[in-house]
Structure formats: structure tokens, C-alpha cells
Amino acid sequence: MTLSRFAAGLLIACLALPAAAAFDIGQLMADLARHKGGRAKFVEKKYIALLDKPVVATGEMTYTAPDRLEKLTLTPKPERLLLERDQLSIERDRRKLTINLAAQPEALAFVDSIRGTLSGDRSALERNYALHLAGTADRWVLTLLPSDQKIAALVLRITVSGSGNQVRQIEYLQADGDRSVLSIDPVELR
């Protein structure tokens, strides 16, 4: 290889570095904000210290940006969870419970970890979490660490991973050591 080819290759590599280095939380949030919603299948595994095996639930989720999320659990037991703005409704066994999240700051912070990530709302996330991003635009991991002691007493860490503007997995590590892993498989995108 001649010196001029080496220098040209080095120059091309150096010019490519800033583009690769440009992926940061701001870019991820912008990518996520462009996603207007869709429908997905999910598998959720809850690892509970008192149980030998994880509790596995499956179903479908529908998201409409910026603040509507519906989670329909089909197995092991039907349940419908609907989040619209600051209202959370849970339907199970023909009973319905509605919670005004504005009156429940810790619950709202937890919900905002999901909603803020899906909508690319960095300020909503940073109200209650320190954000740490690793990876590339094609394969990223966003870790949310609670910045409020009341939230940290419930959740140690939330890890969200994905590809492009798609969230593929959300893992919650609770303060008591239990954890849940929600794997998401998009079916229809908007």
C-alpha cells in the first residue's frame, strides 16, 4: 500500500468518526419522537424471588404518540391496561380500577419512564431519572437511574434497548431484587 492510499484511507476513516460519534441521547430522543405509534406483540417475564420460575405473560400492545398506551394481556389471565394522559385504567375479572396518576407522583414517574421513552420526551425522563446511553443508532441501550429517593426505593434501574426508533425490550430491576423483562415485537408501525 502506498503512502497516499494509506493517507486517503486514514482521512476517510477520520471523516466517518464524527458521524458515528454523533449518536447521543439527543439523537436517540429525536429518532424515538419520529415514531408515531403502532401495534406490537409482547412477552413479559417477571422474576420474583419467592418463585422458582418466572411468571410469563403474553399479549399485544398499542401505542399512539404521545400519551396513549394500551396493553392487552392474553395469557395467563386476560387483563387490559390503558394509559391515556394521566389516567391509568386496569380491567381484570370484570372489575375496573382507574387511577389518576397526577395524584400518585411515584406511579407517574414510573409511567413516564415508558411514555417518555416511547415518545422521545427527554425532559419527561430527566425529571426523575439520570440517563445513560450506550451503543449505536442500530443497537442501543438506554439506562434510567432514579434521581429521586422515593422512586429509587421502588426501582433501582430501568434498561430500555432497541434499534433505530423501535423499543425492543424494557427491563425493570426493583429495589427488592425482583425484576421484569418486557420483550416487544412490532407488528404494525405508524
Give the CATH number for residue 99.
Answer: 2.50.20.10
- Asked if the structure places residue 8 within a domain, the reply is no
Structural domain harbouring 93: 24-189
Q: What percent of the chain has pLDDT over 90?
A: 73
Closest CA to 45 of 37, 33, 35, 53: 53
- Asked if the structure places residue 119 within a domain, the reply is yes
Residues in CB range of 92: below 8 A, 6 or more apart: 77, 78, 79, 80
Q: What is the mean pLDDT of residues 29-44?
A: 94
Give the pLDDT score at 11. Answer: 42
pTM of the model: 0.84
- Asked if the structure places residue 99 within a domain, the reply is yes
Give the pLDDT score at 18. Answer: 46
Count Cβ atoms below 10 Å from residue 169 Cβ, excluding itself: 15
Taking each continuous run of H as one helix and of E as one strand, the counts in the chain are: 5, 11
Q: What torsion, rounded to 10 degrees, do the Cα atoms 18, 20, 24, 30 define?
A: 100
**Helix, coil or strand: residue 109:** helix
- Asked if the structure places residue 16 within a domain, the reply is no
Q: What does the alpha-carbon distance between residue 171 and residue 151 come to, in Å, rounded to a whole number?
A: 16
- Asked if the structure places residue 171 within a domain, the reply is yes
- Asked if the structure places residue 6 within a domain, the reply is no
The number of folded domains in the chain is 1
Give burial (CB, 10 Å; 0-12/13-18/19+) of 116.
buried
- Asked if the structure places residue 49 within a domain, the reply is yes
**Structure confidence at residue 2 as a pLDDT band (50, 70, 90):** low
For residues 18 and 26, the model is more confident at: 26
For residues 44 and 66, the model is more confident at: 44
Give the pLDDT score at 5. Answer: 53
- Asked if the structure places residue 4 within a domain, the reply is no
